[in-house]
Amino acid sequence: MESIKAINFNNLKNKKITIVTHKNPDGDAIGSSMGLYFFLKKISPLVNVVVPNELPEFLKWMPDTNKILVFETQNRQAKAALEQAEVIFCLDFNAMHRMGEDMGGFVQKLSPAFYLIDHHEMPDNFANYIFSDTSYGSTCEMVLDVILKSDKSDLIDAKIATCLYTGIVTDSGSFRFPKTTAATHEKVSILLQTGIDNAAIHNQLFNGNSYNSLQLLGKALQNLQMVTSKVSYIALSHQELNEFHYQKGDTESIVNYGLSIKGVIMTAFFMENVAEKIIKISFRSVGNFDVNQFARKHFNGGGHKNAAGGKSTLSLSETILLFQQTISQHPELCTS
């Protein structure tokens, strides 16, 4: 495994390249994948993007997302793109299993040159070339850095910039999270100079709610509970999701509401997924409480210090009870 911060893209000319990202892709996953896709298409015409499952509706406005191959529903085409690839770029995830059991298991058996670009902690040792740095707020910012450090930065156009800007905005919480630095804003200024419509991008991302999604948010807020004065959580059952006609992406930012309460330093969002027979969990924190370690220790997950995910095979009520019990093991969450 070779650590990299720059790539000689001339070595990829006319190579068969496939870009992959994690299951349940978010703005940073799709933004980095499509930003790199448009850039690499200027070097090699043989580029594909494969995602494990369908991307959420609020990201489908992005250019050429209809060309993304979905492993779950376009299995034959996705497998062909992966098998034929001489190079596979792995973006915004740190371990093969983050692509899900089916796609992760399939990719693991392949032997192209793997390039990993990611900002999550503790990456697995599977890539030939790795750019891993937890100081970055998004993978999109890392992809932009790689391009800027190459001799092909002049290839950045409005399409590339739109995608990378989208991922930076979503993973930075619209530039309010701690990992947003002066360097982040400097790089964003480069993207803005391509002529992208940043106001329109924000409108597409945050002002496309359906009536049902807002009703679901209302139900989620009604379900908001406090464990201690420093810990909150929200839970949505399968029945409640169905009642408000849940669509992928509808719960994207619900977890953040639990963190907006004065004095709360850690929150969780539990969502029942009957199809996968799991409870999907999102964790958020502020300050020094590390939800990455919390998720790894208690809920088979991980991520970043202040934003992580996990899962449980218990029932929703049993999972919440387990969560409440684990809080008592962390004095910093219990003391006033």
| Per-residue pLDDT at 52 exceeds 70 | yes
Give the per-residue pLDDT at 208.
Answer: 85
Name the helix (H) or strand (E) containing 284. strand 278-285
Arithmetic mean of pLDDT over the chain: 94
Assess contact for 34 and 69: CB atoms under 8 A: no
pLDDT tier for residue 304 given thresholds of 50, 70 and 90: confident
Residue 48: phi, psi to the nearest 5? -130, 155
Q: Alpha carbon of 239 to those of 17, 211, 245, 275, 317: distances in Å?
A: 42, 18, 10, 13, 14
Q: Where are the alpha helices (DSSP H) in 207-315?
A: 211-222, 238-243, 254-259, 291-298
Query: Looking at residue 24, what DSSP letter applies?
Result: S
Coil, strand or helix at 134: coil
Q: What is the pLDDT of residues 218-228, one digit of tens each?
A: 999 999 999 99
| Per-residue pLDDT at 28 exceeds 90 | yes
| Per-residue pLDDT at 8 exceeds 70 | yes
State percent of the chain over pLDDT 90: 88
Neighbours of 8 (CB within 10 A): 10
Burial (CB count <10 Å: 0-12, 13-18, 19+), residue 86 = middle
DSSP string for residues in 53-90 = SPPPGGGTTSTTGGG-EETTTSHHHHHHHHHH-SEEEE
Assess contact for 79 and 49: CB atoms under 8 A: no
Average pLDDT over residues 41-54: 95
Coil, strand or helix at 187: helix
| Per-residue pLDDT at 1 exceeds 70 | no
Q: What is the pLDDT of residues 141-164, one digit of tens each?
A: 999 999 999 999 999 999 999 999
| Per-residue pLDDT at 194 exceeds 80 | yes
Give the per-residue pLDDT at 72.
Answer: 96
Average pLDDT over residues 175-204: 95
State percent of the chain over pLDDT 70: 99
Q: Alpha carbon of 290 to those of 28, 127, 198, 236: distances in Å?
A: 21, 26, 32, 24
Distance CA 96, CA 108 (A): 7
Give the per-residue pLDDT at 318.
Answer: 97
pLDDT tier for residue 336 given thresholds of 50, 70 and 90: low
Distance CA 157, CA 159 (A): 6
Average pLDDT over residues 165-179: 93
Structure-block tokens of residue 252: 């994207």
Residue length, the chain?
A: 336
Q: What is the pLDDT of residues 203-218, one digit of tens each?
A: 999 998 899 999 999 9
267 DSSP β-pair partners: 232, 284
